[in-house]
Amino acid sequence: MLFTHRGLSGPAMLQISSYWQPGDHLEIDLMPGKDAFEALCQARRATPKRRLSTWLSEHYPKRLAQSLVEWQGDDGVLAERSNASLEAWADFLNRFRIKPAGTEGWRTAEVTMGGVCVDAISSKTFEVQGLPQLRFIGEVLDVTGELGGYNFQWAWASAVACGQSV
């Protein structure tokens, strides 16, 4: 996942956008596999004089760490943080919540959702039932692949199957 000047990007966001509906919130774990509260308590014990923003910049790029502090509106020396304050920070980091304003739309889209319904399409020849002269393959069908080459795979595999049956 990338933070860009236009918003969130990168493969994870591209994949999620296939499921996201306008108005949906996203909850992102900014410390995957780590209990942020545990990590913060451990840091408070080990390095009590360190500022929260310094601790954050050890885990994230400096500018992101600065932004996190601005968004949360809370910084200061670790030793002075109460458990409640660290819990609030941990919740913020392990369950970072955003409500996207929208997607980039067609400008950067890589695959379409929807298309010709597959119910009436033969999965062997890609003919339309009852209209064998008419065939649909690839992107135009209502098939959406996960990220990782599956849309190319679908386009090529359906083309080969269709072509071999002609």
Ligand X SMILES: Cc1cc2nc3c(=O)[nH]c(=O)nc-3n(C[C@H](O)[C@H](O)[C@H](O)COP(=O)(O)OP(=O)(O)OC[C@H]3O[C@@H](n4cnc5c(N)ncnc54)[C@H](O)[C@@H]3O)c2cc1C
Q: How many CB atoms lie within 10 A of CB 141?
A: 19
152 lies in the site for ligand X, by CB under 6 A: yes
One-character DSSP codes across 118-140 = GGGB-TTT-EETTEEEEE--GGG
Matching residue, tokens 């609030």: 88
Residue 149 in the binding site for ligand X (CB under 6 A): yes
Q: Hey, CA dihedral for 13, 14, 15, 21, is it positive or negative?
A: positive
Whichever of 76 and 149 has its CB closer to ligand X, that residue is 149
146 contacts ligand X (rule: CB under 6 A) = no
By CB under 6 A, is residue 17 in contact with ligand X? no
Contact code string over 99-128 relative to ligand X, x by CB under 6 A: -----------xx-----------------
Site residues, ligand X (CB under 6 A): 110-111, 138-139, 145, 149-152, 155
